[in-house]
Amino acid sequence: MCSYCEMAVIWMQNQLVQNKSLEQVLNYLDELCERIPSPMGESAVDCSSLSSMPVITFNIGGRNFDLRPEQYILKVASGGSEQCISGFTALDVPLWYVTISIMLLRYSHSWLKAAVSSSSDVCDPIHGRPQGTR
């Protein structure tokens, strides 16, 4: 059992010993689980809040790529209900990883192929083009 699970079980036992009702404990635990990040790094998002979420713009190869919430939030159906998960995943390294699945939602494979530098180029990460070609 993972350490978070062990802590949750011990906490629940202590709450029940303190005469909290099982319903109170489970309701609080549900709230807590909504706020704890997933071990895989993905984050749950309230599906009803998509209309208030921003358009996110990436600049790759000197070209702006706008992603609407419908493109960077993944809707997953499970057991008759729908859950929304951010298409962005936290990593423990100073790196941004843009998945091909997000890029292909809106942009053609041929343009994306042209935007990616060959492995022999020295790439300017700010401007997305080989250094010395500004």
Q: Which residues of the chain have pLDDT under 50?
A: 109, 117-131, 133-134
Which tokens belong to 41? 């790094």
Q: Encode burial over 96-133: b for 16+ CB neighbours within 10 A, e otherwise.
A: eeeeeebbeeeeeeeebeebeeeeeeeeeeeebeeeee
pTM of the model: 0.47
Q: Can you list the positions of beta strands (E) in 40-122? A: 44-45, 56-60, 63-67, 73-78, 81-86
CA proximity to 99, closest of 85, 84, 87, 114: 87
Q: What is the pLDDT of residue 117?
A: 46
